Amino acid sequence: MQVSKWGNSLAVRLPKALVDKLGLKEGDELNLVAARSGTLEVETKEDQRKAALGRMAARNWTLPPDYKFDRDEANER
């Protein structure tokens, strides 16, 4: 892959085979993490969500059946 200038940023085009393997579509958000020197790990938001749910399940932690998340209420100060 070649790094290209895109506005004030740099961009990399992903090969179709990698896009298909990761199940990516336009608009998906990715996290790139430097795993080792010169190595990147790619994680989608969906991967993060599944991992978090897996960690919650491993702790046998569940929400009450009547629990409803209210973002506005959570952000009140």
C-alpha 34/C-alpha 43 separation (Å) is: 11
Q: Top-level CATH class of 3-74? A: mainly beta
pLDDT at residue 44, as a whole number: 81
pLDDT tens digits, one per residue of 49-69: 888 889 888 998 778 889 888
Q: What percent of the chain has pLDDT over 70?
A: 100
Q: What is the pLDDT of residues 39-49, one digit of tens each?
A: 888 888 888 88
The C-alpha atoms of residue 40 and residue 22 are separated, in whole angstroms, by 14
- Give the pLDDT mean for 6-34: 88
Determine the Cα–Cα distance for residues 28 and 30; give it in Å rounded to an integer.
7
